[in-house]
Structure formats: C-alpha cells, structure tokens
Chain A
Amino acid sequence: MSHERRTVNREELERIIALCESIEKRGLDPFSVNVKELLMKLRRILEEQKDLEIIILDAETLYKIAVLISLQQKWLKERASSLFIDSQLVSLKITSAEPKQLAAALARSWRPIVRAEQLTPYRVRQGMEYFLMLPPRDRAYEKLPTAQEEALRILKGAEYAKDVVLEDEVRKMHERCIMAAGSDGEVDYWSIVSADTFEETVWRAYVLSFVISEGLADIKKNPLTGEIKVVPYPSKRTREKVAAFVISLKSGEVPKALGREKE
C-alpha cells in the first residue's frame, strides 16, 4: 500500500514539474495555474512520505513553482506597462489587414543593415600586400606548365607516356588476338603478350587489359595447369559478371617460350 502511495505521489510531483516547465517553455499564461493549490499538494505529499527520493523531487518541484511565480511577476509587469499590446488584438489586426498594409507597418519600423558584398580598394591592397609577402613554396613549382600539351611533353620526356593513341593500339591488339586464335577460338596469353624487351611486354599486357575490359575478349585460367588463355570475340560483348584478374610480371621472368613459336 505504502509502495503504491509512493508511486502515486512521485507521479504527481513529476506532473507538476512538467506543467511548470511547459508554461515556462511555451510562454503560456502563468496565471492559468493555481500556485496555492500546488503548494498545498506539495505539503501533503511531504507529510505523507519522508523518504529521500520524494524529498529531492519535492525540492525540485518547489524550485519550478518559484520559477513560475517569477514568470507571473514578469507577466504582470509587462501587462501593466503602457506599451503592452495584447496578442489577441494584434491577431485581429493581422487577419483584417491587407498584405500591403502589413508590409507598410513593417516598413515604418525597419532599418535594414547596410553591408558591402564586394571588396573595398583598401582590402584589395591588403590582400595584394599579403600575397607578395608569401614566400614561394618550391622553385620547381614555379616552372610547372599549365597547358595539357606541355604536361604531356614532360611526361614523354620522362618516358611515362608513349606518343601513341591508345584506341588504335587496342584495335590492333584485338585484331592480333583474332588472327592468333584462328579456328581454336583462343590463344595463349603469354604468346600474345611476350616481346623481346620487358618494357614492350608490359606495354602489350597493358593494351590487352583494355581489350578485355572493353568486352572484345575474355580471359580464362586453367586451375590445374596454370595456363592462361585469351578468348577474342569478333565484336564487343556485354559481360554478365565483372571480375578482376591479376597477372604478375617480373623483369627477366617473362615466359617467352609459351606459344611464341605459334606467333
């Protein structure tokens, strides 16, 4: 019985706290609550239950009621001021006014902020001074070309790019695969890729990867023998499954013997 009573009292205190908080947050009329009645309830609960939890909750409720009383004082002060205008009156005026009248009312009391949306000569000068003060990041960057051709020229000079059109190379490689496959319909990977120099072998493998990616050929590996076969198609095919196939290549270890004779 005592436990039930305690639960009821706690709920009642929590309800009072929630009520006070909602009035405070929502700016409702603080006189809509009977403070005297709330204080009487508090006294009764405190007399009935004197355990720590209820005492703490009671203290919190008392604080919330005190805040409510301070709101009542503020509310009264506002109402008593000669400048107070009731929200009901303003609502009536708003609903009865034309949009233009409302706009004119705001225009009477509105002094917009003036702000420049562009740089002043002073700020430009400041920015220029700062820019000139900055040290260069690196001498090499100063000579960096901006044009694409110039960049390509440097790459070629550094042997990072060839003077060829990749599309043409892909087409040539596709034709070579078809020729080499003949009636078998497939050709050994290394016979297509192997060349006299390591660089050329890497280049061929690179171009062949584009042929396969484009759907002009497929690649198969026999898991027992380790043989890798290229299956060229006469025309482009849409691949149902996309998979990655890794073939490692090391300088001096190119298996040239495989199918080189066939070529």
Chain B
Amino acid sequence: MEEKRNEVERASKKIAIAASMLLFSSHRLPGVRGWELRRRLGKDYLKIIDALNNKLNSIGLRVKIMFDQPSGEHPAQDDFDKARFFITLSEPLTVADIVAAGWSIEDVAILAAVLSYIFTKGGKATEKELMELLEVKFPRWKVEAAIERFIRKGYLTRIEDNMIKVGWRTLAEVDEKELLKAITDITPSQPKEDNKENI
C-alpha cells in the first residue's frame, strides 16, 4: 500500500517536472526535444507526457509533438527523441480572444492570407507573388512590416531567391487543412443596404 502511494507520488512529481519543462524553457524556441525529456524523466517519458496531456485537456491545453521528418502512423522511439514537444491550446480561439491578446485584425488577416496561399503553392511562394496578392487589400508598407514580423516570430521563413515558406511555428500551431477549408468557406460579404441606396 505504502509502495503504491510512493509510486503515485513519484509519478505526480514527474508530471509536474514535465509541465515545468514544457511551459518554461530557456531556449530561444519554446518547447523541449524528446531526448531532453528522456534524460530528465526516464525512458518512460512518453507515458508521463500522456498523463500530463490528460491533465492538461481538462483546462483546454494539450501536448503537441512536432516531428522533424513527417513520420508514418507509428513513429519510432528515435523519432520521438528527436521531436519537439510543446503545449498548445486544445481549442481554437475566437477573433475577440486574439484581439484581446494584442494582435491586430489586419495582422491576423495578412497571416491567414499568406499561409493559405503558401499552402496551396506546395509550401513556398515568392515574396513578389505575396505582395501582389495582398497589395489589393492592404498598404504595401503594412504587408512588408507584417511579413518581417512573422518571419521574426517563426511563422514564416525566408529562403533563397526571395522565396517565403512556412516556418516552424506555423507547423506547430496552424492546422493546414482546417485553414484551407475555412478560407474556401468564406462567402463574399454583401454590400450594406445604405451603401446601395447611396449608389
């Protein structure tokens, strides 16, 4: 009985350590690699992460695992060791929540447009193409500044020949299929009644 209690205590302590490692990291990039978790929590670290995930689910969070290479249905232990572990929200935010967190609607709209366009172009597009697409809706300086900001935050990456591709943060945070579906579901808004009257 005593042994069992000790076992539970040990597991709880390990879950707490895992939570602190995932939430607070001193690296430039958030999250930790699988091998770091293994070194701190032992070889059964995936079970600890699973238990942590169950606990986090109740408060709207989840552990997200990002593999270096796209793995099949059953990733190997080595894939998990090399993968990066994060904690993300389990449910999407509302636009009001995003604005309350300090983002401007226009910045989020630019990010949505850039990401969806890049996704449909096979993961990369030229900066010129993106400018031409967004200049119709936003001032050029605003688009340029936003793209630079998203590159700094890791949502986008600039590669050779002024090509832009999705960054690590996009892969960790954005659901590609869901975004493309949401974009194609958009129906053009109808002009307001009073505008019609004016015309």
Contacts and interface: CB of A to CB of B under 8 A. Distances in A.
Given A86-B120, A103-B112, A110 B173 contact: yes
B51 interface: no
Given A103-B105, A120-B24, A111 B113 contact: no
B180 A100 contact: no
A90 B185 CA distance: 10
A85 B185 CA distance: 12
Interface string B168-199: 01001111111110111110110000000000
A119 interface: yes
A36 interface: no
Interface in A87-127: 87, 89-91, 93-116, 118-120, 122-123
A160 to B, nearest CB: 42
Contacts of B188: 96-97
Contacts, number: 166
Interface string A78-89: 100001011101
B161 A90 contact: no
Contact of B169 (A26, A85, A108, A113): A113
Contacts of B69: none
Interface string B93-121: 11101100000011011111101110011
A119 B91 CA distance: 26
Contacts of B161: 25-26
A113 B112 contact: no
A105 B86 CA distance: 23
Contacts of B123: 27
Contact of A107 (B17, B106, B108, B115): B108
B1 interface: no
Contact of B183 (A94, A112, A114): A94
Nearest to A115: B30
Interface residues of B, number: 66
Contacts of A110: 92-93, 98, 173-175, 179
A102 B184 CA distance: 10
A87 B178 CA distance: 16
A91 B134 CA distance: 9
Contacts of A75: 122
A113 B175 CA distance: 13
Interface string A192-214: 00000000000000000000000
Given A105-B183, A120-B23, A87 B89 contact: no
A80 to B, nearest CB: 14
B94 A107 contact: yes
A111 B186 CA distance: 20
A24 to B, nearest CB: 11
B147 interface: no
Interface of B: 16-17, 20, 23-25, 30-31, 61-62, 64, 86-95, 97-98, 105-106, 108-113, 115-117, 120-126, 133-134, 136-138, 160-161, 163, 169, 172-180, 182-186, 188-189
Interface of A: 25-27, 75, 78, 83, 85-87, 89-91, 93-116, 118-120, 122-123
Given A90-B116, A109-B174, 16 more contacts: A25-B163, A27-B122, A78-B122, A86-B120, A94-B116, A95-B136, A102-B109, A104-B95, A105-B179, A106-B108, A106-B111, A106-B179, A111-B89, A113-B172, A114-B89, A118-B24
11 contacts: A25-B160, A87-B121, A94-B183, A96-B188, A101-B189, A107-B94, A107-B98, A109-B179, A110-B173, A112-B93, A114-B86
